């Protein structure tokens, strides 16, 4: 009888667990639907329900952080990205998005640190978020800080991942221009234009930059 009761309790526990996961799955779908429709407040409410059911759900914390960021609560978004990261330290998208939030607050050291950690979290670049985008953003941030060697290194790594990454060539050209290396700058600008000849913004920006020199 004791064994039978234990078995019944175990099965009941499994049933509750499966039922809760099914509820969480429904809430995720509902929350993402709201999010994609631009109803951020309703999406936030759904993700908060998930957290109440499962306070170890890193995805829910990350999506709540996304909502807070879009609602203008940048410090709140950083708090919840951090909670997601504490649960799952390999959560690349959380590091990346937290970097974007830190950038809005002007905390550049944190931005750089999170971009680098995001890349290191997925060295084989298997996640949907491509490391080339992170290297591009990292290169731009370094450039804004006038750390031009670092900027060129990061942008070159983006190009190693995608040899037709026009934005990386364009920004690397700008970094070379700031270093006074006009030949290399023009070479990179030409490459960017050859990849995206329809991008008139490249031509306009390049003309302005060369005139400023």
Same domain flag for 99 and 196: no
Query: Along the 213 residues of the chain, how does pLDDT read in single tens digits?
Result: 444 454 444 443 444 455 677 877 787 788 788 888 999 999 999 999 989 988 899 999 999 999 999 999 999 999 999 999 999 999 999 999 999 999 999 999 999 999 999 999 999 999 889 999 999 999 999 999 999 999 999 999 999 999 999 999 999 999 999 999 999 999 999 999 999 988 888 888 777 766 665
Residues 139 and 189 in one domain: yes
Q: Give pTM, 2 decimals.
A: 0.84
Q: Are residues 90 and 138 in the same domain?
A: no
Do both 1 and 90 map to the same domain? yes
**95 and 185 in a common domain:** no
How many structural domains does the chain have? Answer: 2
Regarding whether 187 and 150 lie in a shared domain, the answer is: yes
Per the domain annotation, does 119 fall within a domain?
A: no
Q: Please, which residues have CB within 8 angstroms of residue 25's CB and are 6 or more apart in sequence?
A: none
Is residue 208, in this structure, part of any structural domain at all?
yes
pLDDT at 212: 62
Q: Do residues 87 and 1 share a domain?
A: yes
User: Do the domain assignments include residue 110?
Assistant: no
Taking only the tens place, the pLDDT of each residue in 145-195 is: 999 999 999 999 999 999 999 999 999 999 999 999 999 999 999 999 999
Q: Are 159 and 165 in contact (CB under 8 A)?
A: yes
Shared domain for 213 and 157, answered yes or no, is yes
CA distance 78 to 71: 13
Asked if residue 88 and residue 26 are part of one domain, the reply reads: yes
| pLDDT value of position 103 | 96
| Whether 137 contacts 103, CB under 8 Å | no
Judge whether 157 and 120 are in contact, CB under 8 Å.
Answer: no
CATH of the domain at 143: 1.25.40.10
pLDDT in the model for residue 8: 44
99 & 158 share domain: no
Verify that 75 and 153 share a domain, yes or no.
Answer: no
Domain coverage including residue 210:
130-213
């Amino acid at each position: 009888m004791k064994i039978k009761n234990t078995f019944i309790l175990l099965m009941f526990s499994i049933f509750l667990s499966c039922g809760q996961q099914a509820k969480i799955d429904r809430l995720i779908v509902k929350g993402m639907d709201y999010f994609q429709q631009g109803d951020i407040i309703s999406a936030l409410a759904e993700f908060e329900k998930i957290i109440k059911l499962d306070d170890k759900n890193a995805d829910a914390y990350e999506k709540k952080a996304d909502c807070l960021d879009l609602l203008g609560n940048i410090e709140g978004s950083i708090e919840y990205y951090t909670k997601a990261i504490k649960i799952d330290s390999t959560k690349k998208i959380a590091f990346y998005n937290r970097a974007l939030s830190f950038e809005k607050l002007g905390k550049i050291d944190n931005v750089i640190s999170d971009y680098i950690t995001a890349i290191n979290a997925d060295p084989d670049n298997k996640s949907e978020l491509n490391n080339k985008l992170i290297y591009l953003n990292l290169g731009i941030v370094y450039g804004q800080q006038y750390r031009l060697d670092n900027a060129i290194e990061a942008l070159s790594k983006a190009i190693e991942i995608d040899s037709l990454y026009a934005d990386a060539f364009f920004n690397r050209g700008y970094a070379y221009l700031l270093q006074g290396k006009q030949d290399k700058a023009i070479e990179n600008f030409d490459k960017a234009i050859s990849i995206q000849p329809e991008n008139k913004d490249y031509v306009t920006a390049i003309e302005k930059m060369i005139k400023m020199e």
